[in-house]
Amino acid sequence: MSQQVPSDSSNSKISLATLQDKKDCSDPIVAVTAYDYPTARVADAAGVDLILVGDSLAMVVLGYENTLPVTMDEMLHHCRAVARGSKRAFMTGDMPFLSYQVDVSEAVRNAGRFLSDAGMDSVKLEGGRRMASTVRAIVEAGIPVMGHIGLTPQAIHQLGGFRVQGRSSNTARALLDDAIALEKAGCFAIVLEAVPGRVATLISEWLNVPTIGIGAGSGCDGQVLVSNDLLGLFDRFTPRFVKKYSNLRVEMLNAFERYRDEVGRRDFPGAEHTFGIPDDEWQTFIDSLEDLRPSGKHS
């Protein structure tokens, strides 16, 4: 009788095909952002399908006001850390402001660096129809591209702030046209950010590629959240669409305060945190000090 081979499908690397199979499926794509090795390891262990190294790095990790200042080098540095921590999840690196808007060949080269220098499986960029030719060129270079429309934070100055998009019939139609153009250009998935639920559901039903929503209701093919938001680590502001699954800021504050107090009282480190030296070695060491300390402070 042949032996049963245990299925390891839950541990095998998530591929583009796995993500695409989740289109219209009862099992949505679960995505989170991560920016470092420990977070990537935990997200991977939790079984998320996709880790996005978002340019939200600029705000939630590097402390900038918005996402515009983060550079290619900073993004790649954090992508490498995430790639070392994640074994299973599909990984997407977010192309930062001005790394793809200026010139198509520069965009292809920068996109390629996310794969060749930083271990990512794909890239994401913001913008709809006006980015279609850039998306096409990157996809033709063999690099999977995720689109991102709706609230596109790199266009914050054009959008007039972090505002919901697609609330009028015209802007809702523009979003659908953008989504169709990105799909035709070859995007493997499209993020819909801060879009009314009904509009996001219609776009999701219209497209053949999966949509991944953030503030776009439950009708998308997947969901993404910024990990620092869902973990309760980012306290500058919390968008309405965020659900906090933890309050790590409070946990961390509590831990740092207890550490501060214990060090202050000399309760930490205790004997269990302190290394010993054998008595005979100690005595020989002390004896060797005699010539240095004629007054003999130690015995």
Binding region for ligand KIV (CB under 6 A): 33, 52, 54-56, 94, 148, 191, 193, 214, 224, 226
Residue 64 three-state SS: coil
- Separation between Cα atoms, residue 120 and residue 91, nearest integer Å: 5
Instruction: Kindly state the smallest distance separating residue 107's Cβ from ligand KIV, in Å.
Output: 17
Contacts 24+ apart (CB under 8 A), 252-255: none
Question: Checking DSSP bridges between strand 29-33 and strand 50-53, what pairing results, if any?
Answer: parallel
Q: What's the distance, CA 145 to chain centroid?
A: 16
Residue showing the smallest CB distance to ligand KIV in the complex: 54
User: 32 pairs with which residues across the strands?
Assistant: 51, 225
Instruction: Kindly state the smallest distance separating residue 148's Cβ from ligand KIV, in Å.
Output: 6
159/286 with CB nearer ligand KIV: 159
User: Looking up tokens 């920068």, which residue turns up?
Assistant: 110
62/286 with CB nearer ligand KIV: 62
51/143 with CB nearer ligand KIV: 51
Is the preceding omega at residue 38 within 30 degrees of 0, hence cis? no
Instruction: Kindly state the smallest distance separating residue 39's Cβ from ligand KIV, in Å.
Output: 13
Residue 45 three-state SS: helix
Instruction: Kindly state the smallest distance separating residue 259's Cβ from ligand KIV, in Å.
Output: 31
Tokens for 39, please give them: 């977070």
User: Residues 74, 126, 193, 290: which is the catalytic one?
Assistant: 193
40/253 with CB nearer ligand KIV: 40
- Separation between Cα atoms, residue 76 and residue 73, nearest integer Å: 5
- Separation between Cα atoms, residue 183 and residue 210, nearest integer Å: 10
Diameter over CA atoms, the chain: 91
- Separation between Cα atoms, residue 253 and residue 251, nearest integer Å: 6
52/209 with CB nearer ligand KIV: 52
44/234 with CB nearer ligand KIV: 234
Q: What is the DSSP string of 148-180?
A: EEES-GGGHHHHTSS-----SHHHHHHHHHHHH
User: Looking up tokens 């095909």, which residue turns up?
Assistant: 17
Instruction: Kindly state the smallest distance separating residue 256's Cβ from ligand KIV, in Å.
Output: 26
| Among candidate residues 181, 204, 68, the one with its CA nearest the CA of residue 130 | 181
Q: 205 an active-site residue?
A: no
Instruction: Kindly state the smallest distance separating residue 151's Cβ from ligand KIV, in Å.
Output: 9
Residues taking part in catalysis: 193
